[in-house]
Structures are given as structure tokens and as C-alpha cells.
A and B are shown apart, each in its own frame.
With several copies, the nearest count.
Chain A
Amino acid sequence: MADARLSLDAFDPAAEIAAFNARHRSAGGIVTFVGQVRDSGGVEALELQHYEPMTLPGMEELARITQARWPLEGLLILHRSGVMYPGDAIVLVCAAARHRRDAFAAADFAMDHLKSESWFWKREKTATGWRWIEPRPEDHEDISRWRA
């Protein structure tokens, strides 16, 4: 039921959402999140690195945990790796549930964990060259919300 995918090539989030929606037409509510490379701040390119033995298994474990925590009818976690450009999709999370609040919480939870606990390393290219991005303090605050 859960679907975790690591994509080494560009993907079309709208097409993925359409396919997900078509698979879950009987769910009451579907929440999706698309994260994209921002077209601002002078970022020319973004690179995400993954570590083959751990990144996808970690995403699969996150999908499992998310599904165990909320009653979902479907879940998709899709993350890009490689070099991306402004407007390119980085990540897509889709959560289908009978009840709206479960779908919102599950997508929010999955995103917080992808952001600060999944095995990706990110660097940005600007006019001054490439620079590695460290996690922000907010990312850790976001994730701590779920440790009740």
C-alpha cells in the first residue's frame, strides 16, 4: 500500500498526483506536498546526494512508520536525487485517508522527517560556486513536534 521511490531523473509531480488520485478515488481526502527548487535567491542549481545502501531503505521505513501512526488508505513518498534546476520537483508526498486530519498530519510528518532525518545531502550552486547546505534549526524544531 505504501510506495517509496527514489528518482534519479526528473519527475512530473502533477502526473504522479493524477495517478495517485486515480488509485484512491474512494478515499475521503488526499493531501499532497510538492517541494521544488525555488526560482529565487540566485540559486542556479541544486544537487542532492543519496547513499545507495541507506537512502531508499530509510524512505521505506519512514513510509512504514507513517502508515503505522495514521489510518491511511494510501501513501506515496517520492524523492529526487541528482542535479536539479529552478522549478524542478525535489520531493512529493501524497497521503490518502478517510479523514482529512489524518491525511494532513501524515503528509506533514513525512515531510518533516524527509527534511531532517533522511539520508540526503544537499548543495546549492550560486554565482560564487557550490555550497553544502546544513540543516536549519527550524528543521529540528519541526521534527520535535512529533515526539509527544
Chain B
Amino acid sequence: MAKLVFMGRLEDVAGTAEMSVSPGPVEQVLASLDPALAVQLLGEKVRMAHNGRLLTDVGGVVLANGDELAFLPPVSGG
């Protein structure tokens, strides 16, 4: 299985901080989610990180077994 991680307000939208999903192309993984959640995850201010590395484009990205895909809304620290 692969893991999706929802940070910040996306955790509230997803109703969970993490979700196990079947491995496969990211587009396919997103298509399997609740459409209301998928729309939020694909918002223009949301960035994605694959195994801790920022993605510039999800096209062609495939989640393997044990992979982690994080959805990162705008940050605010300090």
C-alpha cells in the first residue's frame, strides 16, 4: 500500500491525517478519492511532496508500495 498525508486544513477536509491507498499513478489514486476532497487537494495553492521531495508536476508520478504522498496547503510558521 501507499500512504497519502494531509497537512493543515486538508486534514479537516479529508477527515483524517493519513490514508492508505493502492499503489499506482497519482492521477489514478486521486480519481479514486471522494471528488470533493480531490478538488481541494488539486487546489492551486496546494503543493505535493513525494517521499519528502516537492513535486513540480504530478504527471507521470507513480506511487509504489510504501511510498508517501503529502498534500501541503500554504504554510504559516513562527
Asked if A and B form a direct contact in the complex, defined as CB atoms under 8 angstroms apart, the reply is yes
Q: Which residues of A contact B (CB under 8 A)?
A: 35, 48-49, 51, 53-54, 57, 79, 90-91, 100, 111, 114-123, 132-136, 139
Complex Cα distance, B9 from A122, in Å, reads 9
Query: Is the contact region of chain B dominated by helix, strand, or loop, or is it mixed?
Result: loop
Chain A min CB distance to B7 (Å): 5
Given contact pairs A53-B51, A53-B52, A119 touches B8 in the complex (Cβ within 8 A): no
Residue interface bits B59-78, CB-to-A below 8 A is 1, else 0: 00000000010101111111
A residues less than 8 Å from B70 (CB atoms): 51, 53-54
- Asked if B68 and A114 make an inter-chain contact with CB atoms under 8 angstroms apart, the answer reads no
CB contacts (< 8 Å) of B51 on chain A: these are 53
B interface vs A, CB < 8 Å? Answer: 5, 7-9, 12, 49, 51-52, 68, 70, 72-78
Q: In the assembled complex, how far is the CB of residue B76 from the closest CB belonging to chain A, in whole angstroms?
A: 5
Task: Collect the chain A residues with CB atoms within 8 Å of residue B76's CB.
Answer: 115-116, 120-122, 133-136, 139
B9 to chain A, nearest CB (A): 4
Inter-chain contact A91/B75, CB cutoff 8 Å: no
Could you say which residues of chain B place their CB within 8 Å of the CB of A114?
77-78
Expressed in whole angstroms, the Cα–Cα distance for A30 and B8 within the complex equals 27
Q: Whole-angstrom distance between the alpha carbons of A8 and B75 in the complex?
A: 18
B75 touches A54 (CB 8 A): no
Asked if residues B49 and A116 are in contact (CB atoms below 8 Å), the reply is no
Nearest-CB residue, chain A, relative to B49: A54
Question: From residue A89, how far is it (CB to closest CB) to chain B in Å?
Answer: 11
A117 near B75: Cβ-Cβ < 8 Å? yes
B77's contact among A48, A53, A57, A134, by CB below 8 Å, is which? A48
CA distance in complex: A15, B50 (Å): 38
Q: Would B68 and A121 count as touching, CB distance under 8 A?
A: no
> Does A91 contact B77, Cβ atoms closer than 8 Å?
yes
Residues of A near B12 (CB, < 8 A) are 132
| Contact for A121 among B7, B49, B52, B78, CB less than 8 A | B7
Q: How far is the CA of A141 from the CA of B74 in the complex (A)?
A: 15
Contact of A122 among B5, B49, B77 (CB under 8 A): B77
